[in-house]
Amino acid sequence: MNDHTVKSYDKELEFLGLRIVEMGGICEKMLADAMEALTLNNSNLAAQTVARDPRLDQLHRAVEEHAVTTIARRQPMAVDLRELMGAVRIAGDLERVGDLAKNIAKRTLKIAAEPRIPRATVGLRHMVELAAQQLKDVLDAYSIRDLERARRVWLRDAEIDALDESIFRELLTFMMEDPRNISYCTHLLFCLKNVERVGDHATNIAETVHYIITGQSLPVDRPRGGETHETAATK
């Protein structure tokens, strides 16, 4: 491969990297704003969060199309192919994170007139902060190809799972204390599951970063923070 080809290929990878950086920034903003809107019952902020999602979809398509074109033109092998396929996988996870943040914002719009329980969102806010930090850390790991940082994100997924279980039980307690809380807390349970899935997508990205760097997959079974409420409900 001559110098000109190498530089051209590097530019194509840079194009993908920049799109992923933009997607990550949008996701982080959507998550923060969705939680802020939910906590403060801010319908305008919730609507703004929903309105950001089309740009994320557009970037996702751009990454996919550019990667496919590059593969067809360059026919890359080994690490170069992993870079391209990894970018597509990460873009897909980020697009889904945006959908999950949008879902939380839509819940805010649905429960605007519901009686509120301010303390019911305290744990959820903490969980959003943890998931957002996971997302930031794993995107940093991708940007600088930091294998150890990616692995730390993968290991910390157990923290989000454990918090998910704790908040689930707390919301059930609010519902049992007063039947008037049932509708509001049910909506929060859906938000809780969305946040837990954000953590899963951050972990997916960590696995992809590991694969890009090493060419090997992490173990199929992730570290868990105990039994989730979904598992418990099936027993």
- Res 225: pLDDT: 55
- Res 118: pLDDT: 85
Max CA distance (Å), the chain: 71
- Res 7: pLDDT: 65
- Res 20: pLDDT: 96
Residues 6+ apart with CB under 8 A from 194: 100, 101, 103, 104
Q: For each of the chain's 235 residues, which pLDDT tens digit applies?
A: 444 456 677 888 899 999 999 999 999 999 999 999 999 999 999 999 999 999 999 999 999 999 999 999 888 888 888 999 999 999 999 999 999 999 999 999 999 888 888 889 999 999 999 999 999 999 999 999 999 999 999 999 999 999 999 999 999 999 999 999 999 999 999 999 999 999 999 999 999 999 999 998 887 666 665 444 544 333 3
Separation CA 181–CA 192 (nearest Å): 16
Altogether, the residues listed in the chain come to a count of: 235
- Res 9: pLDDT: 75
From residue 29, alpha-carbon distances to 52, 109, 122, 193, 235 in Å are 9, 18, 19, 19, 38
Question: Domain limits of the chain?
Answer: 3-233
Q: What is the CATH number of domain 3-233?
A: 1.20.58.220
From residue 19, alpha-carbon distances to 56, 66, 87, 142, 177 in Å are 10, 10, 9, 13, 47
In the chain, the amino acid numbered 121 is T
Closest CA to 200 of 179, 169, 230: 230
Q: What one-character DSSP code corresponds to residue 119?
A: G
